[in-house]
């Protein structure tokens, strides 16, 4: 899935840009799915991430129901939500760069 700088929020604040979502089976453990999201792809080495935005990935397990033309996906429970947020910059000691952490 891909979506690059196409809305007014992303144009006005590039740090709000959530562009790519990758989902694949873990090469180390086929029982696990790996999710990776690309946020703020134009960030340079001095970029700061917005502390006003919650980036979220929501997933739900699906099963295939039916046969032939009646085949469809049946969503299961629970819905899993992963939310990521960056903190405000922390002051740094003199001569050092400020620190920004994420949770």
pLDDT tens column, 45-93: 888 888 888 888 899 989 999 999 999 999 998 999 999 899 988 888 8
Domain that holds residue 18: 8-85
Helix (H) or strand (E) holding 49: none
pLDDT tens column, 3-60: 555 666 666 677 777 788 899 999 999 999 999 988 888 888 888 888 888 888 899 9
Total domains in the chain come to: 1
Task: Please give the model's pTM, rounded to 2 decimal places.
Answer: 0.62
Specify the pLDDT at position 20.
85
Does residue 38 sit within a domain?
yes
Does residue 94 sit within a domain?
no
7 secondary structure, DSSP code: S
Cα within 13 Å of Cα(67), Cβ side: 0
Does residue 2 sit within a domain?
no
């Amino acid at each position: 899935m891909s979506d690059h700088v196409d809305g007014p929020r992303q144009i006005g604040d590039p740090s709000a840009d959530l562009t790519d979502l990758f989902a694949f089976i873990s090469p180390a453990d086929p029982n696990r799915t790996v999710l990776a999201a690309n946020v703020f792809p134009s960030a340079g080495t001095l970029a700061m991430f917005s502390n006003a935005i919650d980036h979220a990935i929501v997933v739900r397990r699906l099963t295939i129901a039916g046969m032939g033309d009646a085949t469809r996906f049946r969503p299961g429970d629970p819905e899993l939500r992963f939310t990521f947020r960056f903190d405000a910059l922390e002051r740094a000691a003199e001569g050092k760069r400020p620190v920004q952490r994420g949770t």
